[in-house]
Amino acid sequence: MTGVRATLVAVVAVLGCHAPPSTTPRATPAAPPPPDRAFAALPVLADEPPDERDLFDMFVARYVASGFPEARDVELELAEIAMIPYTSRAKVITRRFLGDGPAVREHLPIVSGFAYGHRLDAAPRDDAAYRAFMTVTIAHEIAHAIAFLHHDQDQDGWREETRAMALERAALHDAVRAGALPATTIADFDRFQHTLLAAAPPGLVASLPTDPDARRALFIAQYPTVLAGMGGDPSRPHPSPAAVDTVLALYTVVRLELAAVPSPSLASLVARFKPMPAGTP
Amino acid sequence: MTRRASLAMALSLGLLPLASGCLRFQRLIIEIDVVAHQAAYHFVDVATEDEPDDDAARLIAYAHADDVREVTDVVDAFWTTTVGKRVTATSERIDADLALTFRHLYEIGISSVDAAHPYRFCVPALLDRIPIASTNADARDRRGCVVWSASARLLRIELATTTAPDPVLRARLYARYRELLR
């Protein structure tokens, strides 16, 4: 489906004409809702806890300080949606994972079902590790967004992902060095990778190729299947659990390999990107 | 991310699709019943931001022609269920209504602050030029989102611009849409 087509379908979904609603879902509250007020008349919420947008802003600042001023153009969409963060048109969409809101409490089970074939359902609960993982995914997605802005998204999905993983790692270390994240975040993040490894089917990790070309070929062969199987409805059977396991194990193995070697500075990775296209504001 | 997944994301955020192409609107009223799990969107004066293209006209025509098979396939595969759609189009104005049910608030872009403030609405980034005009929310946060307390049942938000669509562009969009209906 082309982008235009997808947009079209999406808009039709909103505007699609059917018979007039037979049951207009207007609320029938027990008590009348409060009257509307102008936005400016609303009081500002006191003691608002930090949320994911603070982490996003922090990573954008780290990328900018490291030589990616275009990171300022990356936008964040925040939702309590059970979906892997992704970028589109230099936009990062991430889901809530901080705080004690109702969706946050059911976050991990939804993510487990959505992206991990429920393999995390039985994993030992480790909130710090999970939060660290989600925190770093924001840096990962900003990396993809920067690649988009540079017109430097690698059509080879494996190279694109491994580059984003190198950048996320560098951004994590950079944020810790700058005091923007607790030093324990690195260990928390790595611990979650071990949780993922432990949740993988027995023998899978050992069976993965170590040769870079073989890994790339395996990833490229399985990745489309995994993407096609992603969905938000847990009642939908996943079409290929084996492919999901393989792809996610490849991510995890690469992340652990990156953890085992000194991380290059975020600034040093700037040179790996194409220059911004001429005429880019 | 697959197109389908990104589409699901767009749908789940409710408002994003309309602004992801060239379409804009002058006013949008959203009513969400958090107990009944129902939401209603009333778009007023849908128009194009610049010269209307065939995609814009075609989508209105598709809507009018009830050509929603593919949409239904997609929508039903994910979270929200559309229960009512209506387009009212004249050369003066194109309005649209959408009514849907949902299972989780995150499907329609409602997030939370904390347990005491479980409902928060932020204008999606793609709609950031359309401010919140009025709402029955209890407060706003430091980012410009609006929040409700746990006692809220009906969440109401009105987004509105002060700029009316260009009448020439609107008329062209309507004319092209009528052509496509033939």
pLDDT tens digits, A177-192: 999 999 999 999 999 9
* Surface of B (109-128) touching A: CB under 8 A: 109-115, 117-118, 122, 124-125
User: In which band, very low, low, confident or very high, does the pLDDT at A28 lie, cut at 50, 70 and 90?
Assistant: low
Whether B136 contacts B149, CB under 8 Å = no
- Closest-CA distance of chain A to residue B140, Å: 5
Amino acid at B8: A
Whether A59 contacts A175, CB under 8 Å = yes
**Cβ within 8 Å of residue A248, ≥6 positions away:** A115, A116, A196, A200, A226
| Six token digits for residue A253 | 């193995």
Q: What is the DSSP string of chain B?
A: --HHHHHHHHHHTSSHHHHHSSEEEEEEEEEEETTTTEEEEEEEEEEESSS--HHHHHHHHHHHTT--HHHHHHHHHSS-EEEEEEEEE-SS-EEEEEEEE-SSGGGGTEE-SBTTB-EEE---GGGTTS-EEEE--SEE-TTS-EEE-TT--EEEEEEE-SPPPPHHHHHHHHHHHHHHH-
Between chain A and chain B, the number of residue pairs with CB atoms below 8 A apart is: 270
DSSP state of A92: E
More confidently predicted of B95 and B125: B95
Taking CA atoms, what residue in B is nearest to A230? B5
What is the model's pLDDT at position B130? 80
Rg of chain A (C-alpha set): 21
Q: Does B9 contact A at CB distance below 8 Å?
A: yes
Distance CA A75, CA A149 (A): 12
Mean pLDDT computed over every residue of chain B: 71
Task: Give contacts of A80 with chain B, Cβ < 8 Å.
Answer: 104-106, 110-112
Task: Choose among B9, B84, B136: nearest Cβ to A93.
Answer: B9
pLDDT tens digits, A203-231: 888 999 999 999 999 999 888 776 665 54
What is the model's pLDDT at position A131? 87
Instruction: Using alpha carbons, select from A3, A224, A231 the residue that is nearest to residue B3.
Output: A3
Instruction: Using alpha carbons, select from A163, A119, A176, A152 the residue that is nearest to residue A277.
Output: A152
Segment B70-76 shows an average pLDDT of 36
State the ipTM, two decimals: 0.76
Task: Choose among A4, A28, A91: nearest Cβ to B125.
Answer: A91
Q: Poorest-confidence range of A169-178, A185-194, B65-74, B165-174?
A: B65-74
User: In which band, very low, low, confident or very high, does the pLDDT at A101 lie, cut at 50, 70 and 90?
Assistant: low
pLDDT tens digits, B32-58: 999 999 988 888 887 766 665 555 565
Q: Order of strands across the sheet with A91-95?
A: A75-79, A91-95, A86-87
Highest mean pLDDT among A227-236, B143-152, B160-169 belongs to: B143-152
Whether the per-residue pLDDT at B73 is higher than 60: the answer is no
More confidently predicted of B177 and A128: A128
Rg of chain B (C-alpha set): 17
Q: What pTM, to 2 d.p., does this model score?
A: 0.66
- Closest-CA distance of chain A to residue B1, Å: 6
Question: Strands B119-121, B146-148: parallel, antiparallel or unpaired by DSSP?
Answer: antiparallel
What is the model's pLDDT at position A166? 96
Whether the per-residue pLDDT at B137 is higher than 60: the answer is yes
Task: Give contacts of B21 with chain A, Cβ < 8 Å.
Answer: 4, 7-8, 11
Instruction: Using alpha carbons, select from A174, A165, A158, A116 the residue that is nearest to residue A140.
Output: A165
Segment B58-72 shows an average pLDDT of 47
